[in-house]
């Protein structure tokens, strides 16, 4: 499955880290655009210069790990498309250009499902993407999430971390030992 990652799932860090672990494991193919990366760096800069530098470094690493992920939509395509928030049209254009299956976002209001369907796309939250992936391979998914928890400083509550990352359903299934 090819998925365009909207800025709101790339920043904050925890959400991006969970998603990138699943992508690196080949569970889905991530896509992004220069403008999505610019928005991410801009939002990170609001949290301090160090966060902006970290964002740029992470972007370089992500592009190296996924050399086919960077999508450059044409201005003509962007001019043809419509969304309730014109500032989000570039995300839709990246999805169309990249032949994506879905746009991954927390922003339901600005990505109406009917409008996306007209372009052959779905709108998914990170939880909606990751839950079926977890259910298809619970052991592998648990390993991906556990490796993230080990990389965090100090003792962490996996359920709290995943909830903070906007993944409440994944948090529940991970911590209860269930598969669905």
> Do residue 115 and residue 145 come from a single domain?
no
Which of 56-70, 118-132, 143-157 shows the lowest mean pLDDT across its residues? 143-157
> Do residue 82 and residue 119 come from a single domain?
yes
Joined together, the tokens standing for residue 121 give 């796309």
The CB-based long-range contact list for 156-159 (8 Å cut-off, 24+ gap) reads none
User: CB burial class (10 A; 0-12, 13-18, 19+) of residue 43?
Assistant: middle
> Do residue 40 and residue 73 come from a single domain?
yes
> Do residue 38 and residue 73 come from a single domain?
yes
> Do residue 116 and residue 157 come from a single domain?
no
Burial of 14-26, coded b for 16+ CB within 10 Å and e otherwise, reads bbbbbbbbbbeee
- Average pLDDT in the 84-111 region? 97
> Do residue 135 and residue 110 come from a single domain?
no
Residue pair 31/71 in contact (Cβ under 8 Å)? The answer is: yes
| pLDDT tens digit sequence for 19-46 | 999 999 999 999 999 999 999 999 999 9
Greater confidence (115 vs 177) lies with 115
> Do residue 70 and residue 156 come from a single domain?
no
Q: Cα dist. 151→36, 51, 148, 162 in Å?
A: 26, 18, 5, 14
Q: What is the pLDDT of residue 87?
A: 96
Given a cut of 80, whether residue 171 has pLDDT beyond it is yes
> Do residue 68 and residue 104 come from a single domain?
yes
> Do residue 80 and residue 137 come from a single domain?
no
> Do residue 78 and residue 153 come from a single domain?
no
Last residue of a domain, one of 94, 109, 125: 125
| pLDDT tens digit sequence for 99-149 | 999 999 999 999 999 999 999 999 999 999 999 999 999 999 989 888 888
User: CB burial class (10 A; 0-12, 13-18, 19+) of residue 159?
Assistant: middle
Provide the domain limits for residue 164. Answer: 129-176
CATH number for the domain including 113? 3.40.50.1010
User: Could you tell me the pLDDT band of residue 158, with boundaries at 50, 70 and 90?
Assistant: confident
Compute the distance between CA of residue 9 and CA of residue 30 in angstroms, rounded to an integer.
12
CA dihedral for 62, 30, 39, 67, sign (positive or negative): positive
> Do residue 137 and residue 88 come from a single domain?
no
- Look at residues 6, 4, 126 and name the one whose alpha carbon lies nearest to residue 66: 4
User: What pTM does this model have?
Assistant: 0.93
Residue pair 111/88 in contact (Cβ under 8 Å)? The answer is: yes
Question: For the chain, how many structural domains are there in total?
Answer: 2
Pairing relation of β-strands 29-31 and 122-124? unpaired
77: number of Cβ within 10 Å? 15
> Do residue 86 and residue 143 come from a single domain?
no
């Amino acid at each position: 499955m090819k998925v365009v990652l909207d800025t709101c799932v790339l920043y904050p860090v925890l959400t991006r880290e969970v998603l990138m672990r699943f992508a690196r494991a080949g569970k889905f193919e991530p896509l992004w655009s220069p403008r999505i990366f610019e928005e991410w760096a801009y939002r990170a800069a609001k949290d301090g210069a160090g966060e902006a530098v970290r964002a740029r470094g992470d972007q370089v690493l992500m592009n190296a790990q996924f050399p086919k992920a960077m999508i450059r939509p044409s201005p003509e395509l962007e001019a043809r498309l419509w969304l309730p928030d014109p500032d989000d049209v570039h995300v839709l254009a990246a999805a169309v250009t990249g032949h994506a299956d879905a746009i991954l976002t927390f922003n339901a209001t600005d990505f109406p499902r009917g409008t996306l369907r007209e372009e052959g796309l779905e709108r998914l939250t990170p939880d909606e993407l990751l839950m079926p992936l977890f259910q298809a391979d619970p052991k592998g998914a648990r390993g991906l999430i556990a490796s993230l928890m080990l990389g965090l400083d100090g003792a962490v509550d996996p359920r709290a971390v995943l909830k903070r990352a906007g993944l409440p359903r994944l948090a529940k299934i991970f911590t209860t030992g269930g598969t669905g």
